[in-house]
Amino acid sequence: MMHLLYQIFIDPFVQMAGAPDLLVQTLWEGFVGGMLYALIALGFVLIFKASGVFNFAQGIMMVFAALTMVGLYEKGVPAPLALLLAIGVMYLLAVAVERLILRPLVNQPDIMLFMATFGLTYVLIGVGELIFGGSPKEVPTAQLGLPKGAYDIHAFGGLVSLQKIDIAAALIASIMVAALAVFFQKTRIGRALRAVADDHQAALSVGISLNQIWVIVWFTAGVVALATGIMWGARSDVSFSLQVIALKALPVLILGGFTSVPGAIVGGLIIGIGEKLGEFYWGPLVGGGIDSWLAYAIALAFLLFKPEGLFGEKIIERI
Amino acid sequence: MSERETLLSVSNVSLSFGGVKAISDVSFNIAKGEIRAIIGPNGAGKTSMLNVINGFYHPQQGQISFNGVMRKRMKPYEAASQGIARTFQNVALFKGMSTLDNILAGRALKMHKSFFWQMFRYGPALDEEIEHRKFCEEIIDFLEIEHIRKAPVGSLPYGLQKRVELGRALAMEPTLLLLDEPMAGMNLEEKQDMSRFIIDVNQHYGTTVALIEHDIGVVMDLSDRIVVLEYGHKIADGTPDEVKSDQKVIDAYLGVAH
């Protein structure tokens, strides 16, 4: 018994102190993963804020966007052009979603919209496979100007290896996250977006066009999906199994709050870093593999004590 | 009074939901610069009329012309961009946002700088934001709600929420301001404040006001002309004195033995 307690509460910290280079390495990998989670979560937050709907299709949008880019490249389109075309496709998708799903379902219960995003998921899987095939594809990182290789830094009494692609991913994710945060907090369109989320009727009465806002939001979520898909694809491959990663955004959202941009960032980092630390230091106790469920366990604990998340809007009801 | 120019005219408008007739063959006009009240018992079709005017509902029959232009089927945001602002019977504010953000949201149509600049909140977009902020601060001063500038409106008392809603409508610099029961649920003092604001808006900014209100005392004091609806029909139209002495109005309000 004492031994077990020692293994849980003391030994991991002894290890951390004993080999700081490994700790830094683990934290770095957690940070990169966390930034990417944050970016995925942001895609959900955008759509949740504007349409009040949890977009189940966000994961597949990420795959579909990256697949379009990589697929076009494989068909002989130069990589930068393929990237622009993929952005164009995400715009068309946003317009189509607004016309075919949101507009006909306006004023319907949220659950209907939620189910509609399930439908969208399967449409995108079908169309994606039909056009680009189901096999995993490699991201042309070099053609996109993404670096390869690693910086090996001798520090903390050992070796810390930073993959260049990870640095690029963290950098791009940080910039996008920061830009979106400012955009949605401080600008007219951001305000219009929050207005639409709060009260459709009132938003219409001050002259906000729901249709236009929805297209902007879905397009932005599509671009975020494209960036995440490429970044994540560059670390493995682009394949349909990537959408499982998008589910990790769920605990991130529960942690950060469904409506909060900073929440998505902090939640993403907590999940990303917590997962890596847990797996590396506590994983061996139970035979590893805890990174697949640790995030959900953290989220569950949060639901018990702080259901609106760290930064979510507290729901004020006057009686 | 009669020589005033007509701002909005409603001719022979009928609106029904399935078999239920909400408005039948109603005509009236609103003159530039006046305060026009629409009154009537519950279910008379007053709110439906406002919804028709600002484009939420589309009447099956009849025409509406605004500023001399015959209007086609139009969406609420198009009505808003032509200068029609409104408040709602049950306060439709953006509850999670602060007072200031709610009022700034009313400036949505006045901000034009491109998506690109807004993305970075830089350059022209920032100047624009500051300029509109100034305008909204003036409205906040005018409505005496400085102390709740940063408060999330969902937590405010009802009377103040109504005031914020008026502020948001004013931020649109409307030509025609539609107020749906601006004084419902208010105490005497709040009603007096609100009446003062409505008169000020009307006189200082020359905004035309159309309001629905149940407090007959307030309506008689405020309005230049009154339309009375009952079961979707217009039963009277005229100055407060004319309406007050109209037998049909007295019957509608006091009930009559049939």
| pLDDT averaged per 10 residues in sequence order, chain A, 319 residues | 82 84 90 88 84 85 93 90 94 94 82 91 92 86 81 81 86 86 77 80 82 88 91 84 82 83 86 90 81 86 80 59
A254: helix, strand or coil: helix
Listed residue (B57, B36, B54, B76) closest to B229, CA to CA: B36
**A191 shares its domain with A277:** no
Domain B1-83+176-258, CATH number (from 3.40.50.740, 1.10.10.10, 3.40.50.300, 3.40.50.720) = 3.40.50.300
B77 near A CB under 8 A: yes
Q: Is residue A6 part of a domain?
A: no
Which residues of chain B lie closer than 8 angstroms to A208, CB-CB?
Answer: 77, 105, 108
Q: How much is the pLDDT for B211?
A: 93
Residues A260 and A301 both lie in one domain: yes
B235 membership: H or E segment, kind and range = strand B233-238
Same structural domain for residues A105 and A220?
yes
- Angstroms from A193 CA to nearest CA on chain B: 10
What chain A residue is nearest to B111 in terms of C-alpha separation?
A188
CATH of region B90-173: 3.40.50.300
At residue B123, the pLDDT reads: 60
C-alpha A188/C-alpha A196 separation (Å) is: 12
Please tell me the number of Cα atoms within 13 Å of B68 on its side-chain side.
2
Which of B95, B128, B139, B160 to mutate to test binding with chain A, by most A CBs within 10 Å of its CB? B95
How do beta strands B35-39 and A158-163 pair? unpaired
Domain boundary assignment for chain B = 1-83+176-258, 90-173
Chain A contact for B151 (CB, 8 A cutoff): no
Can you tell me which residue has the tokens 């909005």? B8
Q: Are residues A201 and A274 in the same domain?
A: no
Q: Which amino acid is at B9?
A: S
User: Residues of A at the B interface (Cβ-Cβ below 8 Å)?
Assistant: 179, 182-183, 186-192, 194-195, 197-199, 201-210, 216, 259, 313, 316, 318
Q: Is A45 a member of any domain?
A: yes
β-strand partners of B176 = B84, B208
Nearest to A204 among B77, B113, B119 (CB): B77
Cβ–Cβ below 8 Å for A201 and B104? no
Q: Which residue in A183, A192, A198 is closest to B108 by CB distance?
A: A192
Map residue A22 onto helix, strand or coil.
helix
Which of A191, A209, A216 lies at the smallest CB-CB distance from B101?
Answer: A191
- Does A25 reside within a domain? no
> Does A208 lie in the same domain as A264?
no
Whether A269 and A138 share a structural domain: no
Query: Is A207's CB within 8 Å of B77's CB?
Result: yes
Q: Rounded CA gap, B198 and B196, in Å?
A: 5
CA of A1: how far to CAs of A4, A274, A285, in Å?
Answer: 5, 25, 14
Give the pLDDT of residue B1.
47
Beta bridge partners of B252: none
List CB contacts (< 8 A) between B93 and chain A: 198-199, 202
- Interface predicted TM-score (ipTM): 0.71
Q: How far apart are CA A187 and CA A181, in angstroms?
A: 10
| Mean pLDDT across B109-126 | 58
Amino acid in the structure at residue B40: G
Give the nearest chain B residue to A181 (CA atoms): B119
**3 state SS for B119-130:** HHCCCHHHHHHH
Residues 6+ apart with CB under 8 A from A309: A253, A254, A255, A256, A257, A258, A260, A263, A267, A302
**A105 DSSP 8-state letter:** T
Residue B130's contacts (CB-CB under 8 Å, 6 or more residues apart) are none
A298 and A219 share one domain? no
Q: How far is B121 from chain A (nearest CA, A)?
A: 7
CB of B169 within 8 Å of a chain A CB? The answer is: yes
Which chain A residues are within 8 Å of B80, Cβ to Cβ? 204-207
> In which band, very low, low, confident or very high, does the pLDDT at B198 lie, cut at 50, 70 and 90?
very high
Cβ(A250)–Cβ(A271) below 8 Å:
no
Give dist(CA A252, CA A254) in Å, integer: 6
Residue scoring higher pLDDT (A109 or B123): A109
Same domain, A74 and A223: yes
Nearest CA in chain A to B165: A202
Same domain, A233 and A254: no
Say which residues have a Cβ less than 8 Å from residue B128's Cβ, sequence separation at least 6: B111, B112, B113
Indicate the residue of A182, A198, A204 with minimum beta-carbon distance to B96.
A198
Pairing type for strands B208-212 and B35-39 reads: parallel
Q: Which of A9, A208, A213, A228 is nearest to A139 (CA)?
A: A228
Strand order in the sheet with B208-212: B84-86, B176-180, B208-212, B35-39, B225-230, B233-238
pLDDT value of position A11: 83
Q: A82 and A231: one domain?
A: yes
Among B47, B89, B97, the strongest candidate for a mutation testing the A interface, having the largest count of A CBs within 10 A, is B97
Domain boundary among A239, A260, A284: A239
Is residue A129 a part of any domain in this protein?
Answer: yes
Residue A19 lies in a domain: no
Q: State the pLDDT at residue A124.
A: 93
pLDDT of residue B215: 87
Number of domains in chain A: 2
CATH topology match: B1-83+176-258 vs B90-173: yes
Is there a contact between A198 and B172 if contact means CB atoms under 8 Å apart? Answer: no
Residue of B77, B90, B100, B170 for testing the chain A interface, max A β-carbons within 10 Å: B77
Q: Is A52 helix (H, G, I), strand (E, B) or coil?
A: coil
SS3 label, residue B117: helix
Rounded Cα distance between A267 and A221, Å, is 18
Task: For residue A211, list chain B residues with Cβ-Cβ distance below 8 A.
Answer: none
Give the pLDDT score at A62.
92
Count of alpha carbons within 13 angstroms of residue A101, beta-carbon side = 25
**Domain assignment of residue A121, yes or no:** yes
Judge whether A152 lies within some domain: yes
Pick from B240, B177, B235: which is nearest to B204 by CA? B177
* pTM score, whole prediction: 0.76
pLDDT of residue A42: 86
* Distance between CA atoms of residues B29 and B11, nearest Å: 8
Mean pLDDT of chain B: 85
Q: Does B88 touch chain A (CB under 8 A)?
A: yes
**Contact between residue B104 and residue A191 where contact means Cβ atoms under 8 Å apart:** yes
CB contact set of B180 (below 8 Å; sequence gap of 6+): B46, B47, B50, B86, B87, B88, B89, B211, B212
Among A239, A257, A281, residue at a domain's last position: A239
- Identify the weakest region by mean pLDDT among A268-272, B71-75, B194-198, B231-235: B71-75
A259 within some domain:
yes
Residues in chain B closer than 8 A to A209 (CB atoms)? 75, 77
CA dihedral B152→B158→B163→B166, nearest 10 degrees, is 90
Residue B181, helix vs strand vs coil? coil
Instruction: Decide if pLDDT at B113 tops 70.
Output: no
- Best A205, A208, A317 member to test B by mutation, with max B CBs in 10 Å, is A205
Which tokens hold the place of A313?
A: 């809007």
Q: Which residues on chain A are in Cβ contact (under 8 Å) with B92?
A: 199, 201-202, 205
Residues A153 and A279 in one domain: no
Residue type, B10: V
Examine the domain organization and report whether A274 and A193 are in the same domain.
no
The alpha carbon of residue B180 and the mean position of all alpha carbons in its chain are separated, in whole angstroms, by 6
Q: Which domain holds residue A258?
A: 248-310
Q: Is B120 on the interface with A (CB under 8 A)?
A: yes
